[in-house]
Amino acid sequence: MTAARKKAAETLARADVVIEVLDARLPEASCNPMIRALREFRQRPCLKVLNKADLADPAATAAWLEFYRRQSPDSGGRADSMAVAISCKKTGDAAAPSRIVTLCRQLAPHRNDPTKPLRMMIMGIPNVGKSTLMNALLKKRVAAVGDEPAVTKSQQTLDLGRGMTLTDTPGLMWPKIEHDADGYMLAASHAIGVNAVLPEEVALFLGERLLNRYAPLLAARYRCDTTGMDAVSLLETVGERRGCRSKGGEIDREKAAIVLLSDYRSGALGRVSLETPETRARMLAGTDAAPAD
């Protein structure tokens, strides 16, 4: 990560716009503070791309877009960041690449000249869809993709045509996650490798959040009554419904945890967001125990 950060800083010095790819289900939790610091040091504008919007709660995504829209403009009165929600893997979102290019040009109008190519740089944490976005922008597969963190191992810069270049970068994580909830959200969403987390612990966090905000989706998926249910009993129910049992016939909560996490990650549960601007504000204020949205 230290080497990747150093290389990213060198490349950023030659870039005009940062395209920061975020997970639409947890935009701020998936926002790397190191990337913010690097681009602000270089005074580079940023297009925040809320990817995987097809998996996120539409109401929450709309709230996040409004939240980013209200962010203060720079000293010159021009916004130094914009946000857009897309679904790179969704074929119906074919207009996403052209929207992204248009917004990047708005953020760097001084580079809208054949002699001054627009240099865009894709950044973000692991497994948020950076390489998938790059492939969509180039309209061909040039970057390896996969549902695992750290698929991209090195930078690559390619000519996008029409006076534009695009640099893809490896996923960057920061050394210390300040808020435990952020760590759990990142692990639940597969931004942190499976060897670094305990599935049951992550699933208990996820289960509690889903019970508070999306109980009807759980009831429909697992055909159960969630009234009075806590995260532990949810895992027991998932294990029972999906046949997750040990050799002794007991419910295997670790296997049940993997089922719950997989159903969330794939969208089998439905469209779910793990944070909203309101819940984020409550977490930062230390009052996340307040009633759910």
For 195-252, write each residue's pLDDT tens digit. Answer: 778 999 999 999 999 999 999 999 999 999 999 999 999 999 999 999 999 988 999 9
End position of a domain, from candidates 108, 137, 168: 168
The rounded mean pLDDT for the chain is 87
H-only helix segments in 110-190: 130-138, 180-188
Q: Tokens in use for 237? A: 């129910």
**pLDDT at residue 293, as a whole number:** 45
Q: Do 80 and 116 belong together in one domain?
A: yes
Q: Do 45 and 160 belong together in one domain?
A: yes
Q: Is residue 290 part of a domain?
A: no
Q: How far is Cα 18 from Cα 80, in angstroms, rounded to an integer?
A: 10
Q: How far is Cα 52 from Cα 89, in angstroms, rounded to an integer?
A: 8
Q: Do 112 and 62 belong together in one domain?
A: yes
Q: Is residue 292 part of a domain?
A: no
Q: CA nearest 254: which of 232, 287, 228?
A: 232
Q: Is residue 173 part of a domain?
A: no
Q: Do 31 and 126 belong together in one domain?
A: yes
**pLDDT at residue 3, as a whole number:** 74
Q: Tokens in use for 189? A: 């969403």
Can you list the positions of beta strands (E) in 28-161?
46-51, 81-85, 118-124, 156-159
Q: Do 142 and 202 belong together in one domain?
A: no
CATH number, domain containing residue 59: 3.40.50.300
Residues 6+ apart with CB under 8 A from 19: 46, 47, 49, 100, 104, 120, 121, 122, 123, 133
**pLDDT at residue 79, as a whole number:** 62
Q: How many domains does the chain have?
A: 2
Q: Do 103 and 189 belong together in one domain?
A: no
Q: Is residue 201 part of a domain?
A: yes
Q: How far is Cα 173 from Cα 191, in angstroms, rounded to an integer?
A: 9
Q: How far is Cα 30 from Cα 192, in angstroms, rounded to an integer?
A: 11
Q: Do 228 and 151 belong together in one domain?
A: no
End position of a domain, from candidates 118, 145, 168: 168
pLDDT digits (tens, 9 = 90+) for 9-67: 888 999 999 999 999 999 999 999 999 999 989 999 999 999 999 999 999 999 999 99
Q: Do 24 and 80 belong together in one domain?
A: yes
Residues 6+ apart with CB under 8 A from 5: 34, 38, 172
Give the domain range for residue 126. 2-168
Q: Given a cut of 70, is residue 76 above it in pLDDT? A: no
Q: How far is Cα 14 from Cα 257, in angstroms, rounded to an integer?
A: 44
**pLDDT at residue 140, as a whole number:** 75
Q: What is the DSSP letter of 228?
A: T
Query: pTM for this one?
Result: 0.88
Is the model more confident about 128 or about 6? Answer: 128
pLDDT average, residue stretch 259-274: 97
Q: Do 162 and 191 belong together in one domain?
A: no
CATH number, domain containing residue 247: 1.10.1580.10
